[in-house]
Structure 1
Amino acid sequence: MIPSRPYKESSSQTAGPYVHIGLIPHQAGFDIFKKNFSHVLVGPDTVGERIRIEGRIFDGLGALARDVLVEIWQANAAGRYNHPADRQDDKAIDPAFRGWGRTGTNFETGLYTFETVKPGPVIGRRGHRPMAPHVNVWLAARGINIGLSTRLYFSDEAEANAQDPVLNIVEPRERRETLIARREEREREIVYVFDIHLQGERETVFFDL
């Protein structure tokens, strides 16, 4: 018999210094994928209010993080995800809306952007409570061992935000503001600004999923 040996945890590693090359190579100037993932979630036939989401990501010292992968996953304008697990059969799936996007922060400005539609409210699977319109956000970067998950809510949905079951578990209450994107109107374009702070006094709320 071979004596049993205790197993040791393997060494962990971060996303490394080449996030863009491996996951969004076109942004780093490499054309290696037949179909590149995109920050554009909409097409000409997508239903809903067109919006742009943009922001910057800051480290614990307040410096711009310029090499961060950002992904979003959201419901369509009717409040339904294009996924089999969404059982809201009374809401229509929009075949012209992908609902998922990937981009990276700009090397020079640190800005990330998404072109999408404003999502509708979703009925939660637990307790069937309505959730305010929101966008799920996931980050990966060097120095981060595990991807960070957070949510983006909309500043012009104050009434719905006040009833949202996820926002209401965030304490102290003031911390909820780190999840609210600010609405701006620029030359007939609706922009929601969502800056993310990885650490520090203004640290964004992240969720352990």
Structure 2
Amino acid sequence: MSEAVETAARLLRERGQTYAREAGITLRDKPAPLYQLLVLTLLCSTRIHADIATAATRELFRAGLRTPRAMADSGWQDRVDALGRAHYVRYDESTATALGRGAELLLDRWRGDLRRLRGEADGDRAAVHRLLQEFPRIGPVGADVFCREVQGVWPELRPSFDRRARDAAASLGLPADGDALGALVPGPELPALAAALVRVELS
């Protein structure tokens, strides 16, 4: 086993929890978990600590806001209150607005199903990235987060390692090239490796 493969395996053991898993999302290629990942992505798209973003995601889900229809039908104050309970306070009001508008966009354009966005992109990674940025608050970094996590169930996005993950890889003596990094672990484990590298970079 090469040193790089051993390092990747150690990263998976020590830090390989995806952010989706931390937020309580069992990610599958189904409408509800894909939407839940979009919620997490939106919450991660502000200058706020990842732990607070994942806690806020769990709080929204505890409030029953697990689908775009539930989010769109919820009251703005209910969303603000859920975010506040997780101490997601600096951006709570604007984020509550973005959550509502994003849910409405998903319902209106893709009938509440991000698999339709995937179909519109037709296997084009750049198109997925561009379409995700049509949601309020989600920019290039947020689109990177979504692609990094969803590559486990959308194989056409593999490998997805954003700048943070690649920088961390280089600091650990691993390849900084996405394809070379992706060759270190089986495809389904790529989200965990990407998350582990981001956790290294953030620490």
Q: TM-score, normalised by structure 1?
A: 0.27
Q: TM-score, normalised by structure 2?
A: 0.27
Whichever structure has more helix as a proportion of its residues is 2
Whichever structure has more strand as a proportion of its residues is 1
Computing the radius of gyration from Cα coordinates, the structure with the larger value is 1
